[in-house]
Amino acid sequence: MKHFNRTSFFMQDLSRFSFGITSAIITSLALMIGLNEVSNPKLSIISALLLIAIADNISDSLGIHIYRESQSSNAKKNSNVYTFSNFFTRLTVILFFVMLIIFLPLEYAILSSVIIGIFLLSLLSYLIAIYQKTNPYLSILHHVGIAIVVLITSHFLGQLITGMFNI
């Protein structure tokens, strides 16, 4: 009888969601911060997030599906699970951010989204590092650091674009 390894099972489950949650957090937060500079930021942000929730999400999910199919036969077997897990994880995270934008004043919605997004990214980094027996704090610092660079760049890019095309 095969020995059941609960940690391995948990990490296999976690790997189904890790790409989707990371992509949804960083893309959504960067978009919110970058579009905060336009003339009607709330409508622009909601529209862009919903477009990402569908179009970009389907594109990434298909990319994961094709990537998994191009791997070993064991990876092919689980390609649909990873595809749908990615799609629904991204959709859930993005729709949560959309709800914050709809129901909170924009400044609070963006700040809340950044805090929640960084927390989720930190938690994911921590769990992966613990499983891989690496330093979780370095993992968190590395992943959150990259996310912060993307967010800061998005902020300044939004300002630059608004300044250049102030229509």
Tell me, yes or no, whether 125 lies in a domain: yes
The packing angle between helices 106-132 and 6-35, to 10°, is 150
Structural domains in the chain (count): 1
Tell me, yes or no, whether 128 lies in a domain: yes
Tell me, yes or no, whether 14 lies in a domain: no
10: pLDDT strictly greater than 50? yes
Which of 14, 4, 13 is closest to 128 using CA atoms? 14
The mean pLDDT of 92-108, rounded to a whole number, is: 94
Tell me, yes or no, whether 40 lies in a domain: yes
34: pLDDT strictly greater than 70? yes
CA distance from start to end of the chain: 69
Between residues 79 and 72, which one has the greater pLDDT?
79
Please, what sign has the CA dihedral across residues 114, 145, 65, 59?
A: positive
Tell me, yes or no, whether 7 lies in a domain: no
Tell me, yes or no, whether 124 lies in a domain: yes
Exposed/middle/buried for 72, CB within 10 Å: 0-12, 13-18, 19+? exposed
Tell me, yes or no, whether 73 lies in a domain: yes
Tell me, yes or no, whether 119 lies in a domain: yes
36: pLDDT strictly greater than 80? no
Domain containing 154 equals: 19-161
Identity at 56, one-letter amino acid code: D
Q: If you count them, how many residues does the chain have?
A: 167
Exposed/middle/buried for 24, CB within 10 Å: 0-12, 13-18, 19+? buried
Look up the pTM and report it.
Answer: 0.76
